[in-house]
Structure 1
Amino acid sequence: MTNRKLLLLILYTFSLSLFSFSTVKAQGFDSTQIGKEYPYILPILGKKAYTKGYKLPKPFGIMANSIFTKQNIVLENFAMDFVSLGEEPELVDLSSIIDFGTSKVKVLTANARIDAWILPFLSVGGYYGRFKSETTIALEKPLKLNAQSNSDGAYWGFNFLVVAPLGPINLGVDYSWSWSDNNLLDKPVLVNVAGIRAIKNWPIRNKPDMFIGAWVGAQFQFLDAKTSGQVRLGDVIDIDGGARQDLEDWYQAIEDPSSLHDYLYNKIDESLDDVENTTVYYEFDKRLEKNWNLVVGGQWQINREWQIRTEAGFLPGKYQIMLSGNYRFGF
């Protein structure tokens, strides 16, 4: 698989977990409901809760979400070869003698999601979306090399959300599974994302179905993948921009060059004589620099049908922002 494919998937599904955070339950109590018939088929046990006066969100929802994510990635177990036209690559593990700078991926994605409250505290949903990504791989030594790739594709998945009242707040826990794919992938890639949030709602005076909600929490995502690909050397290096001098400086700074240093030096030195006809083949393991981040968010429930929400995730080297609209209904 090429390096861009996997990176995208990573971020895209990572974003999924943001929208997988379903409508925050407007936990409350309405004595005027006591003894009345619950009008909807879901959630299970909803009738009992309703007749006791508990307010429940409408059981079904349709969400539209837009998410932008930017985060650093770490490359490990790096192997590569510089191959002239017509030759076959023989990848050599060079991870012990090369240095990477900050490699990163940016993703813009949009999706649609449907969900249903199966139980008063459990929501289950599914989603489908499209993404566009930009991945930048930065090599610092033995020479400066920046490879950038762009890609787009689709993802789909499902998730669940559990919400439990804890005194004045609600505790929300969500988990999602998603598969990402594009025309560069051998097969769809699975990504798992989990989150936990403490939610507080403030009702609006004289508007019983309107409230402002806010939450803080954390999100975790797992991505550990092998990437391989190729790029023409002339597309990622400026031969007139000091590449050969960078190579010489790197080699001269080594106090006791090993056979591996000599191998890489000679390979690159030969390749710089014909960058237009040299292809760099590579493979490496890729993971997110940080598997978790903090999240803060807010929601405006206009009425029982419409909600608007936003959420931001952050840590140094990892940022995301989400905007969404939600329509809820019942039958």
Structure 2
Amino acid sequence: MRKIGLINALLLMFVFNASAQIFSNKVVGEKKLEERDSLKQAVYPYMLPIWGEKVTKLGFDLPYSAGFSTQYFYQESDILINNLFVGFNDGTMYDLDEIVRFNKATARTNSISVRPDVWLFPFLNVYGIFARSNNDTNVDFGVYVPGEFHLDPDLGFQWNWVKAMDFKTEANFEASTYGFGLTPTMGVGGGFIALDMNWSWSDIPELSEPARIFVFGPRFGKNFQFGKPGQSLAVWVGGFRVKMNTGTSGSLSIDEVLPGFDDQITGAYEKIEKSQMAVDDWWSGLTIQEKADPINIAKRTAANKGLSVAGSVVDAASRAETVQYSLDKRQAKMWNFIVGSQYQLNKSWALRAEVGFLGTRTHVISGLQYRFGL
């Protein structure tokens, strides 16, 4: 069975916002007068898009109405995790937001996708997404227990938490993705705007439900035509926004969660025991009057309660065969910047490349598209 950490199964982060920059272009300018007149006089031979013939007679040059594209996608992004609850052997779920602290979580994806699409209207492209991906995740986190403590006049009882266990995990897994997208576009004189958006669901065996992702990618660019009919080069800039479902839950075998867990459990017991001895020594060193002080009573009660919770979690983990979890996760930053280009050999074939950077995510897209009339 594949080794996979508790959080590793949760950090699939890949998106398929890879709409090729084909668009309906309004032909303008004196140099394009002959081309515009030719479009107005031509008979539009295809069923799609709806209103295709009317728009052509208004001087719009329409792309072929249907197509298929295959695309390679690589991305790397940082993820933030909070609201972590963990239980063992289907028992009590413990709130571990203070006990488990994540230093860094990074997800990487390599995927191949196939996307059929049609122009439903002259300015609206709709498409489907079918993809397979290989993914690896790296998670760096620590498990903390209460250590020294004090009573702050303003903040109340305060712990100095001590790291009991430290983990760095890596996992590799595969996923299948399906979804759909919409791309409203507008082009005038070769300049264009495309507002690509899609919704996708990724099946991951380790999760109780599919991972849901929404992507929005506005792009603004210019298309430069060459001498041969249908041959052009488009360049663009834009943004790339990713939103994923925050709630995740599931169940894993303890052997898959944390290899070498027994040694870490032993160390955690020792640190909890050391902290408990410090509390007991402090209490036994107080005078009778000091033990009657409500502030000292509150300090001792809170200390014993915190150590009791930590001890219960570690004790339950030491006997666990399975671990159940729920948590919230999100992108460290939703937006990054993109730059791209597409070379169109003719109205049927096009090659595309795009890179995304800045923020906490980078991505690379390359693809090949074939179009035909429908």
When the two structures are superposed, what TM-score results if normalisation uses the length of structure 1? Answer: 0.81
Give the aligned partner of residue 207 of structure 1: 228
Contact 2:73 2:365 survives alignment (8 Å): yes
Deviations 1:129-160 (A, max 9, x none): 11221222321343211233332121111111
Q: Distance in 2 between matches of 1:131 and 1:201?
A: 32
- The one-letter amino acid paired with 2:198 is S
- The one-letter amino acid paired with 2:69 is M
Q: Secondary structure at the match of 1:101?
A: strand
Contact 1:228 1:284 survives alignment (8 Å): no
Please report how far the alpha carbon of residue 61 of structure 1 lies from its aligned counterpart in structure 2 after TM superposition: 0.9
Q: Distance in 2 between matches of 1:247 and 1:165?
A: 66
Query: Which aligned pairs between 1:285-304 and structure 2 lie closer than 5 A?
Result: 285-304=328-347
Q: Distance in 1 between matches of 2:71 and 2:339?
A: 16
Q: Secondary structure at the match of 2:259?
A: helix
Q: Distance in 1 between matches of 2:103 and 2:271?
A: 16
Please report how far the alpha carbon of residue 326 of structure 1 lies from its aligned counterpart in structure 2 after TM superposition: 0.3
- Among residues 259, 263, 267, which one is paired with 1:235 in the alignment? 259
- Among residues 226, 236, 239, which one is paired with 1:218 in the alignment? 239
Contact 1:145 1:237 survives alignment (8 Å): no
Please report how far the alpha carbon of residue 167 of structure 1 lies from its aligned counterpart in structure 2 after TM superposition: 6.5
Give the aligned partner of residue 142 of structure 2: 140
- The one-letter amino acid paired with 2:371 is R
Give the aligned partner of residue 290 of structure 2: none
Give the aligned partner of residue 172 of structure 1: 194
Query: Which aligned pairs between 1:311-326 and structure 2 lie closer than 5 A?
Result: 311-326=354-369
Q: 1:27 to 1:259 in 2, by over 3 A?
A: farther
Contact 1:3 1:229 survives alignment (8 Å): no
Q: Distance in 2 between matches of 1:303 and 1:90?
A: 63
Q: Which has the higher Rg, Structure 1 or Structure 2?
A: 2
Give the aligned partner of residue 152 of structure 2: none
- The one-letter amino acid paired with 1:62 is F
Q: Distance in 1 between matches of 2:275 and 2:233?
A: 61
Deviations 1:106-149 (A, max 9, x none): 11111111111122111111121112212223213432112333
> For structure 2, which runs of at least 5 residues remain unmatched after alignment?
1-5, 28-34, 145-164, 280-298
Q: Distance in 2 between matches of 1:55 and 1:129?
A: 31
Give the aligned partner of residue 60 of structure 1: 66
Could you tell me the percent identity over the aligned residues?
25
Matched, 1:190 2:208: no
When the two structures are superposed, what TM-score results if normalisation uses the length of structure 2? Answer: 0.73
Query: Which aligned pairs between 1:70-149 and structure 2 lie closer than 5 A?
Result: 70-80=76-86, 89-142=91-144, 143-149=165-171
Contact 1:227 1:286 survives alignment (8 Å): no
Q: Secondary structure at the match of 1:262?
A: helix
Give the aligned partner of residue 295 of structure 2: none
Q: 1:211 to 1:174 in 2, by over 3 A?
A: same
Worse overlay, 285-294 or 69-78: 285-294
Q: Secondary structure at the match of 1:235?
A: coil
Aligned residues: 317
Please report how far the alpha carbon of residue 324 of structure 1 lies from its aligned counterpart in structure 2 after TM superposition: 0.7
Q: 1:251 to 1:316 in 2, by over 3 A?
A: farther
RMSD of the TM alignment (CA)?
Answer: 3.5
Q: Secondary structure at the match of 1:183?
A: coil
Deviations 1:52-107 (A, max 9, x none): 443211111100011111111111012335x6xxx664332121344211012111
